[in-house]
A and B are shown apart, each in its own frame.
Chain A
Amino acid sequence: MEDRWTPEHVLSLAPDAASRKSAAKLSTPAPWSDTGSDDRALWGWCQGSGGTPYRTVVDLVGPAYQCGCPSRKFPCKHALGLLLLWSARGTGRAAAPDWATGWLEARREKERQQHRDREQGRQRAAGPDGEAVRPEAARRAARRAERVDAGAAELQARLADQLRTGLADAPQQGPASWAAVAARMVDAQAPGLAARARELGAVPASGPGWPSRLLEEYGLLHLLASGYRRVDSLPTGLAATVRARVGFTVDAAEVLRGPVVRDRWLVLGSSDRAEERLTTRRIWLRGSRSGQPALLLSFGRLGTAPEPALPTGLLLDAELAFHPGARPLRAALGTRFSAPVTAPAEQAVPPGLSLEAALDAYGRALGDDPWLESWPVVLERVVPQPGVLGWELADSNGPAPVAIPVDRRSTPDSGLWRLAAVSGGRPLTVFGECGHRGFTPVTAWYADEAASDDIRFRTLGVTA
Chain B
Amino acid sequence: MTTAPNHPLDSAADAWPDLVTAALLGTDRRPVPAPLDRAATLALARRAGLRPGPAAPPTPVAAADHRPPPPEPARQRLAMLLPARSGSGGAGQLANLNELLPQWLAAAARHGYRCPAALVPPLLDAARARSELRPDAVALAGPLGRWLADRNPDWRFVLRTPGTGERDAAAQSAGQDPRLWQEGLFAERVTYLTRLRRRDPDAARELLRGSWASERAEDRLLFLDALQEGLAAGDEPFLEAALNDRAKNVRATAAELLAALPGSALAGRMALRARDCVSVSATEAGSRLTVHPPTACDPAMQHDGIPAASPTGRAERAFWLGEVIAAAPLDTWAVHGSPAELLALPVSDAWQQDLRDAWARAAVRQGDVPWARALLALPAPDPIPVGSAAKLLAVLPTDERARWAAEFLAGHGLAEAFQLLVACPAPWPEELGRAVLDSLEQIAETGGYPWSHSGVVGVAERALPPQVEPELAVLADHAVPAWAETFARLGATLRLRAAMLAELAGRPVQVAVRAAGPGGRSGRPV
Q: Which residues of A come within 8 Å of B, CB atoms?
A: 6-8, 11, 16-18, 20-21, 24-25, 27-35, 45, 47, 49-50, 52-53, 84-85, 87-89, 91-92, 156, 159-160, 163-168, 211-212, 214-220, 222-223, 226, 355-356, 359, 362-364, 366-367, 370, 383, 385-389, 392, 394-396, 400-405, 412, 414-415, 417-418, 420-422, 424-426, 436, 446, 448, 450-451, 458, 460, 464
In the complex, residue of chain A having the shortest beta-carbon distance to the beta carbon of B121:
A417
Contact of B55 (CB < 8 Å), options: A88, A402, A421:
A402
In chain B, positions 497-526 with a C-beta closer than 8 Å to chain A are: 499, 503, 508-514, 518-519, 521-525
Give chain B residues whose Cβ lies under 8 Å from the Cβ of A87.
Answer: 76
Q: Are B16 and A212 in contact (CB under 8 A)?
A: yes
Q: Are B20 and A215 in contact (CB under 8 A)?
A: yes
Q: Are B525 and A29 in contact (CB under 8 A)?
A: yes
Give chain B residues whose Cβ lies under 8 Å from the Cβ of A394.
Answer: 55-56, 58
Q: How far is the CA of A385 from the CA of B86 in the complex (A)?
A: 20
Give chain B residues whose Cβ lies under 8 Å from the Cβ of A355.
Answer: 52
> Closest CB of chain B to A54's CB: distance in Å?
10
Q: Are B55 and A166 in contact (CB under 8 A)?
A: no
Q: Are B43 and A220 in contact (CB under 8 A)?
A: yes
Q: Are B56 and A387 in contact (CB under 8 A)?
A: yes
Q: Are A88 and B76 in contact (CB under 8 A)?
A: yes
Q: Are A421 and B23 in contact (CB under 8 A)?
A: no
Give chain B residues whose Cβ lies under 8 Å from the Cβ of A420.
Answer: 121, 148, 151
Q: For the A-B complex with A7-B80, A18-B89, A403-B52 known, give 11 more contacts whose Cβ atoms are closer than 8 Å.
A: A7-B76, A17-B89, A28-B499, A30-B525, A31-B522, A166-B28, A387-B56, A402-B55, A417-B152, A422-B117, A448-B69
Which of B33-41, B163-171, B290-298, B375-383 contacts the other chain?
B33-41
Q: Are A167 and B152 in contact (CB under 8 A)?
A: no
Give chain A residues whose Cβ lies under 8 Å from the Cβ of B86.
Answer: 412, 414
Q: How far is the CA of A11 from the CA of B69 in the complex (A)?
A: 22
Q: Does B50 contact A (CB under 8 A)?
A: yes
Query: Quick one: CB contact mask for B53-79 with A, threshold 8 Å, 1 for yes?
Result: 111101111100000110011001101
Give chain A residues whose Cβ lies under 8 Å from the Cβ of B446.
Answer: none
List the 7 closest pairs (A to B, CB-CB), nearest first: A17-B89, A166-B26, A219-B39, A424-B62, A219-B40, A363-B48, A403-B55
> Closest CB of chain A to B313's CB: distance in Å?
51
Q: Are A165 and B84 in contact (CB under 8 A)?
A: no
Q: Does B14 contact A (CB under 8 A)?
A: no
Contact of B25 (CB < 8 Å), options: A168, A214, A383:
A168
Q: Are A215 and B55 in contact (CB under 8 A)?
A: no
Q: Are A33 and B523 in contact (CB under 8 A)?
A: yes
Q: Are B20 and A222 in contact (CB under 8 A)?
A: no
Which of B92-100, B190-198, B323-331, B427-435 contacts the other chain?
B92-100
Q: How far is the CA of A406 from the CA of B163 in the complex (A)?
A: 34
> Closest CB of chain A to B111's CB: distance in Å?
12
Q: Are B511 and A32 in contact (CB under 8 A)?
A: yes
Contact A21 B89, CB 8 Å, known A33-B513, A49-B485, A414-B125: yes
Contact A25 B496, CB 8 Å, known A53-B522, A422-B118, A436-B47: yes
Q: Are B117 and A421 in contact (CB under 8 A)?
A: yes
Q: How far is the CA of A421 from the CA of B140 in the complex (A)?
A: 14
User: 11 A-B contacts, Cβ less than 8 Å apart?
Assistant: A7-B76, A16-B89, A24-B81, A45-B522, A49-B485, A89-B73, A218-B36, A362-B47, A402-B52, A414-B86, A414-B122
Q: How far is the CA of A217 from the CA of B50 in the complex (A)?
A: 17
Give chain B residues whose Cβ lies under 8 Å from the Cβ of A400.
Answer: 54
In the complex, residue of chain B having the shortest beta-carbon distance to the beta carbon of A452:
B68
Contact A363 B49, CB 8 Å, known A29-B525, A164-B27, A168-B25: yes
Contact of B35 (CB < 8 Å), options: A32, A85, A163:
A163
Q: Does B488 contact A (CB under 8 A)?
A: yes
Q: How far is the CA of A362 from the CA of B117 in the complex (A)?
A: 32
Give chain B residues whose Cβ lies under 8 Å from the Cβ of A16.
Answer: 88-89
Contact of B26 (CB < 8 Å), options: A18, A164, A426:
A164
> Closest CB of chain A to B211's CB: distance in Å?
34
Contact of B40 (CB < 8 Å), options: A212, A222, A395:
A222
Give chain B residues whose Cβ lies under 8 Å from the Cβ of A366.
Answer: 44, 47-48
In the complex, residue of chain B having the shortest beta-carbon distance to the beta carbon of A92:
B511
Give chain A residues whose Cβ lies under 8 Å from the Cβ of B94.
Answer: 21, 25
Contact of A49 (CB < 8 Å), options: B51, B85, B488:
B488
Q: How far is the CA of A348 from the CA of B29 in the complex (A)?
A: 60
Q: Are A28 and B69 in contact (CB under 8 A)?
A: no
Q: Are B118 and A421 in contact (CB under 8 A)?
A: yes
Q: Are B46 and A165 in contact (CB under 8 A)?
A: no
A-B pair number, CB within 8 angstroms: 261
Give chain A residues whose Cβ lies under 8 Å from the Cβ of B58.
Answer: 383, 385, 394, 396, 401, 425
Contact of B23 (CB < 8 Å), options: A29, A89, A215, A436:
A215
Q: How far is the CA of A29 from the CA of B502 in the complex (A)?
A: 12
Q: Does B144 contact A (CB under 8 A)?
A: yes
Q: Are B27 and A163 in contact (CB under 8 A)?
A: yes
Contact of A401 (CB < 8 Å), options: B50, B55, B76, B496:
B55
Q: How far is the CA of A387 from the CA of B151 in the complex (A)?
A: 10
In chain B, positions 279-308 with a C-beta closer than 8 Å to chain A are: none
Q: Are A165 and B521 in contact (CB under 8 A)?
A: no
In the complex, residue of chain B having the shortest beta-carbon distance to the beta carbon of A29:
B511
Q: How far is the CA of A363 from the CA of B509 in the complex (A)?
A: 54
Give chain B residues whose Cβ lies under 8 Å from the Cβ of A389.
Answer: 56
Q: Are A362 and B26 in contact (CB under 8 A)?
A: no
Q: Are B56 and A53 in contact (CB under 8 A)?
A: no
Q: Does B315 contact A (CB under 8 A)?
A: no
> Closest CB of chain A to B473's CB: distance in Å?
10
Q: Does B408 contact A (CB under 8 A)?
A: no
Contact of B28 (CB < 8 Å), options: A164, A396, A405:
A164
Q: How far is the CA of A310 from the CA of B59 in the complex (A)?
A: 34
Contact of B509 (CB < 8 Å), options: A28, A34, A401, A422:
A28
Give chain B residues whose Cβ lies under 8 Å from the Cβ of A215.
Answer: 19-20, 23, 39, 43
Give chain B residues whose Cβ lies under 8 Å from the Cβ of A33.
Answer: 511-514, 522-523
Q: Are B25 and A166 in contact (CB under 8 A)?
A: yes
Q: Are A7 and B79 in contact (CB under 8 A)?
A: yes
Q: How far is the CA of A28 from the CA of B73 in the complex (A)?
A: 11
Give chain A residues whose Cβ lies under 8 Å from the Cβ of B72.
Answer: 88
Give chain A residues whose Cβ lies under 8 Å from the Cβ of B351.
Answer: none
Contact A34 B514, CB 8 Å, known A402-B52, A417-B121, A450-B69: yes
Contact A29 B69, CB 8 Å, known A212-B16, A222-B36, A425-B62: no
Q: How far is the CA of A249 from the CA of B495 in the complex (A)?
A: 52
Contact of B50 (CB < 8 Å), options: A216, A362, A424:
A362
Q: How far is the CA of A31 from the CA of B85 in the complex (A)?
A: 27
Give chain A residues whose Cβ lies under 8 Å from the Cβ of B54.
Answer: 400-403
Contact of A458 (CB < 8 Å), options: B47, B118, B518:
B118
> Closest CB of chain B to A418's CB: distance in Å?
5
Q: Does B120 contact A (CB under 8 A)?
A: yes
Give chain B residues whose Cβ lies under 8 Å from the Cβ of A20.
Answer: 80, 84, 89
In the complex, residue of chain A having the shortest beta-carbon distance to the beta carbon of B36:
A222
Q: Does B116 contact A (CB under 8 A)?
A: yes
Q: Does B415 contact A (CB under 8 A)?
A: no
Give chain A residues whose Cβ lies under 8 Å from the Cβ of B37.
Answer: 219, 222-223, 226
